[in-house]
């Protein structure tokens, strides 16, 4: 018997199916006994990696938790999240980087910006004062070789136990996938941009 509601079920059959599902789910929840912060990765070419990170900021701040978000490789245009993230209670928002690499065209400057961001991020992680630290587009800085992957993995592995860390960005290196607890690949099924539609304010930026 599947645990998914079946439209063909009578109310009684539905109740029976769902009661069995509940028993299974409750037992499953009870079997999860490890309580610690997790390392979460959102990667892939699809949409919603950074926005999922912002959603976690909102969610954690809503619980009264302390959150730090460091944005790597961000554009110079005004983003919606940039205006609100820092105003949420308990949220520290750091922007590092001067735009996409093809805008700056300056390798040394991009590397310096990535490393400045990482210095802030590392300090947040090692201080242990935050419940959640979001590292937006860190994966991309790593894939460009702008940061030392062994150093980053070491800091993630030694993170304070209570702390959760969210990493976003395309091309997450294998070493990051290995150290993470939860990894989601965002797969592009289709994109409005390919149909000639401009990036939409409030949705894409």
Give 106 or 126: the residue with its C-beta nearer to its own copies.
Answer: 106
The site for its own copies, by CB under 8 A, has a size of 97
53 binds its own copies (CB under 8 A): yes
Q: Do residues 3 and 21 make contact, with C-beta atoms less than 8 angstroms apart?
A: yes
Q: Do residues 40 and 71 make contact, with C-beta atoms less than 8 angstroms apart?
A: no
124 binds its own copies (CB under 8 A): no
- Which of 77, 105, 123, 154 is close enough to bind its own copies by CB under 8 A? 105
Site residues (CB under 8 A) for its own copies, limited to 152-181: 164, 166, 177, 180-181
Q: How far is the CB of 171 from its own copies (least distance, A)?
A: 8
Give 3 or 129: the residue with its C-beta nearer to its own copies.
Answer: 3
Q: Do residues 70 and 82 make contact, with C-beta atoms less than 8 angstroms apart?
A: no
47 binds its own copies (CB under 8 A): yes
Q: Do residues 189 and 46 make contact, with C-beta atoms less than 8 angstroms apart?
A: yes
Closest-CA residue to 121 (of 138, 98, 142): 138
112 binds its own copies (CB under 8 A): no
Which segment (61-69, 116-124, 152-160) binds its own copies by CB under 8 A?
61-69
Q: Do residues 85 and 91 make contact, with C-beta atoms less than 8 angstroms apart?
A: yes
- Which of 2, 27, 102, 158 is close enough to bind its own copies by CB under 8 A? 102
Q: How far is the CB of 142 from its own copies (least distance, A)?
A: 11
Question: How many residues in total does the chain contain?
Answer: 205
Which segment (59-67, 120-128, 151-159) binds its own copies by CB under 8 A?
59-67
Give 15 or 157: the residue with its C-beta nearer to its own copies.
Answer: 15
Sequence-ordered list of residues with C-beta below 8 angstroms from that of 124, at least 6 positions apart, any chain: 68, 70, 92, 130, 133
Distance CA(102)–CA(89), nearest Å, equals 35
Distance CA(41)–CA(171), nearest Å, equals 11
Site residues (CB under 8 A) for its own copies, limited to 67-86: 67, 79-85
Which uninterrupted H or E stretch holds 150? helix 149-157
């Amino acid at each position: 018997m599947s645990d998914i509601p079946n439209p063909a079920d009578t109310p009684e059959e539905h109740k029976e199916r769902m009661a069995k599902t509940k028993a299974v789910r409750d037992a499953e929840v009870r079997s999860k006994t490890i309580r610690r912060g997790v390392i979460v990765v959102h990667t892939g070419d699809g949409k919603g990696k950074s926005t999922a990170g912002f959603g976690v900021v909102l969610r954690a701040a809503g619980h009264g938790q302390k959150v730090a978000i460091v944005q790597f490789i961000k554009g110079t245009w005004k983003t919606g999240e940039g205006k609100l993230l820092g105003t949420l209670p308990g949220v520290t928002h750091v922007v590092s980087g001067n735009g996409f690499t093809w805008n700056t065209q300056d390798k040394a400057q991009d590397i310096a910006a990535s490393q400045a961001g990482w210095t802030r991020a590392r300090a947040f992680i090692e201080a242990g004062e935050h419940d959640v630290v979001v590292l937006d587009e860190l994966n991309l800085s790593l894939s460009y070789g702008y940061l030392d992957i062994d150093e980053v993995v070491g800091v993630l592995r030694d993170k304070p136990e209570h702390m959760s860390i969210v990493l976003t960005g395309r091309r997450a290196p294998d070493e990051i996938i290995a150290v993470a607890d939860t990894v989601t690949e965002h797969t592009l099924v289709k994109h409005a941009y390919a149909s000639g539609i401009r990036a939409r304010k409030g949705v894409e930026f």
